[in-house]
A and B are shown apart, each in its own frame.
Chain A
């Protein structure tokens, strides 16, 4: 589905992504984990066309898509969400989603002036679709609120909702669970699973919550300092000494290597992240 071949990206002297090669298999849910600063989000930005790669290429269904702008990738069914929600603050939640469907006649000025009936009719269809998505995400009660007034967790749901407004093929989710409370997290988990099984979405997701990763993802790809250091099913990843080293070397303190055994990794997520803002809170999940 997506083949990533030797992608590299440097920011000044910092080699953020260093010859990364792996494949996101069609119809699967691939997990991408790694300590903060491992280059995961940078890689996502390259895949979705938000950043140019220095080297390497990306193939979508065998076709070279390296360097295409985000909107063309969107039209090929490759969508991303952002770690820090990119909601349109001074627009309603409903409007935030109504933007998404491609090919709206009313996006042309001439149509807006001359064919208002058609524009309105299309808007009604889109509105219905938005209502379905809001219902699915349990956001119906805030449909007419300004998106800027939502909680951090609700903004995360809205990010996910954007990908549900079209028939996406591949969805890149950047920390869909960060800053989301348990109940919301469960809905996100269900949403991802349902989209995967019922609608055939292929997912690649970055996440620090090992529960979520273990539950949903196979295989899991581990990055550290810009490189892929391990790849495989979660059980194998957990036992990999290189992975344990990477996390400990990534600034996590307080406990020894034993912290990384299977038993502990599963419940590393603190419950205190309820509805806080999601920015870069990834490290927290690994503290005892």
Chain B
């Protein structure tokens, strides 16, 4: 690859890693701090992406809207819609023990994906929504570096929000809930209330990531929100980086995205006749990697303070 191509690839690569970092931060609020097992990340990611797409695209007969509103409105709307969906789901599921919540969220993400696929009036079905504008492209042009800058800005903002929340008494209550729910009740806290807040806050970050993704790629369809990319990789990132530690979420997102991209180069080398097998091989490699991490270093690259002593 020549210099120019390398640079383009680097920008593309970092932008995607940044979007994953926001997803991992959202999951860290839910799982890392609170112990909630959400296996429906892709659902909230998709809700955010579609919301922002509908809000910001030009009017179309193929789907709801578009409303031709600016990019920041799209992001805020994406976060709000994901938060609303999470609040509705959370009110029903917050009483469930964490393993049941896991099962419920798998189902919910699939329901969301199928709805996106079938509700043509809303989402244009399998044909998807094209022409989603790049962030600030009308004033600043469609330079990918701008997109990268915008995404990294949102990563920083999300990181600040989550890290501040974690170190505040709010985060202290959540970590305590993760350790012992009855103990938190005995300390006078409304456990269900805090759990719902964490679930909704985490989901709104996933919605933010969805909006960033939609504006960066410019086209979305239900196929982009399969559990493999939207959920599984995010879990591997957070666990590899260190659940409970926000720096771990960032490092994990970057490290796993490097590995995931590297496996593409590896499997490309196999040649076109093995293209189908190559795709499966990448997933297998990441699956094996997850097992290795869980056995060899379950606390992740950057463990939460204290986790090591256990």
A residues adjacent to B (C-beta < 8 A) = 48-50, 69-71, 74-75, 79-82, 86-92, 95-96, 98-100, 102, 104-109, 111-113, 116, 119, 123, 146, 148-149, 162, 166
**Which B-chain residue is minimally distant from A96 (CB atoms)?**
B176
B283 smallest CB distance to A (angstroms):
32
Q: Which residues of B contact A91 (CB under 8 A)?
A: 172, 175-176, 179, 306
Residues of B in contact with A, size category: 20 to 34
CB distance A98 to B172 under 8 Å?
yes
Of B164, B188, B307, which one neighbours A75 at CB under 8 angstroms? B188
B172 smallest CB distance to A (angstroms):
6
CB distance A119 to B185 under 8 Å?
no
CB distance B304 to A79 under 8 Å?
no
Of A48, A75, A102, A112, which one neighbours B186 at CB under 8 angstroms? A48
**Which A-chain residue is minimally distant from B309 (CB atoms)?**
A146
19 A-B contact pairs sorted by A residue (CB < 8 Å): A48-B186, A70-B185, A74-B187, A74-B188, A82-B183, A86-B182, A90-B307, A98-B169, A102-B188, A105-B169, A106-B168, A106-B170, A107-B168, A107-B173, A109-B170, A109-B201, A112-B170, A123-B169, A146-B309
B306 smallest CB distance to A (angstroms):
5
CB distance A109 to B183 under 8 Å?
no
B268 on interface, CB distance cutoff 8 Å = no
Of B168, B188, B191, which one neighbours A100 at CB under 8 angstroms? B188
Asked whether A90 and B310 contact (CB < 8 A) given A75-B188, A162-B187, the answer is yes
CB distance B182 to A107 under 8 Å?
no
Q: Which residues of A contact B184 (CB under 8 A)?
A: 99
B111 on interface, CB distance cutoff 8 Å = no
Q: B interface, by DSSP: helix, strand, loop or mixed?
A: helix
CB distance B170 to A88 under 8 Å?
no
CB distance B186 to A80 under 8 Å?
yes
B residues adjacent to A (C-beta < 8 A) = 161, 164-165, 168-170, 172-173, 175-176, 179-180, 182-191, 197, 201, 304, 306-307, 309-310
CB distance B168 to A90 under 8 Å?
no
CB distance A166 to B188 under 8 Å?
yes
Asked whether A108 and B170 contact (CB < 8 A) given A86-B183, A91-B306, the answer is yes
**Which B-chain residue is minimally distant from A80 (CB atoms)?**
B186
In the assembled complex, the Cα of A162 lies from the Cα of B185 at a distance in Å of 12
Of B161, B173, B190, which one neighbours A99 at CB under 8 angstroms? B173
In the assembled complex, the Cα of A88 lies from the Cα of B169 at a distance in Å of 14
Of B183, B307, B309, which one neighbours A88 at CB under 8 angstroms? B183
CB distance A81 to B186 under 8 Å?
yes
**Which A-chain residue is minimally distant from B168 (CB atoms)?**
A112
In the assembled complex, the Cα of A96 lies from the Cα of B179 at a distance in Å of 11
CB distance A148 to B170 under 8 Å?
no
In the assembled complex, the Cα of A123 lies from the Cα of B169 at a distance in Å of 8
CB distance B187 to A109 under 8 Å?
no
Of B170, B186, B310, which one neighbours A86 at CB under 8 angstroms? B186
CB distance A113 to B307 under 8 Å?
no
Asked whether A106 and B185 contact (CB < 8 A) given A90-B175, A91-B175, A91-B306, the answer is no
Q: Closest 4 A-B residue pairs measured CB to CB?
A: A74-B188, A86-B183, A112-B168, A106-B169
In the assembled complex, the Cα of A75 lies from the Cα of B307 at a distance in Å of 32
In the assembled complex, the Cα of A87 lies from the Cα of B175 at a distance in Å of 12
In the assembled complex, the Cα of A148 lies from the Cα of B176 at a distance in Å of 12
Asked whether A104 and B169 contact (CB < 8 A) given A71-B190, A87-B180, A91-B175, the answer is yes
In the assembled complex, the Cα of A132 lies from the Cα of B268 at a distance in Å of 64
B187 smallest CB distance to A (angstroms):
5
Of B165, B179, B189, B306, which one neighbours A109 at CB under 8 angstroms? B165
B178 smallest CB distance to A (angstroms):
8
Asked whether A100 and B180 contact (CB < 8 A) given A90-B175, A116-B164, the answer is no
Asked whether A112 and B164 contact (CB < 8 A) given A50-B182, A71-B185, the answer is yes
**Which A-chain residue is minimally distant from B161 (CB atoms)?**
A113
Asked whether A107 and B169 contact (CB < 8 A) given A88-B176, A112-B164, A149-B309, the answer is yes
CB distance A90 to B179 under 8 Å?
yes
In the assembled complex, the Cα of A88 lies from the Cα of B174 at a distance in Å of 11
In the assembled complex, the Cα of A148 lies from the Cα of B187 at a distance in Å of 18
CB distance B179 to A88 under 8 Å?
yes
CB distance A119 to B169 under 8 Å?
yes
B8 smallest CB distance to A (angstroms):
36
**Which B-chain residue is minimally distant from A116 (CB atoms)?**
B164
CB distance A90 to B170 under 8 Å?
no
CB distance A69 to B185 under 8 Å?
yes
**Which B-chain residue is minimally distant from A114 (CB atoms)?**
B164
CB distance B190 to A69 under 8 Å?
yes
CB distance A71 to B307 under 8 Å?
no
CB distance A162 to B186 under 8 Å?
yes
A89-B310, A90-B179, A166-B188 are known contacts; what are 4 more A-B pairs with Cβ within 8 Å? A90-B175, A90-B306, A90-B307, A112-B170
Asked whether A88 and B188 contact (CB < 8 A) given A106-B168, A106-B170, A112-B164, the answer is no
In the assembled complex, the Cα of A79 lies from the Cα of B185 at a distance in Å of 10
In the assembled complex, the Cα of A50 lies from the Cα of B187 at a distance in Å of 12
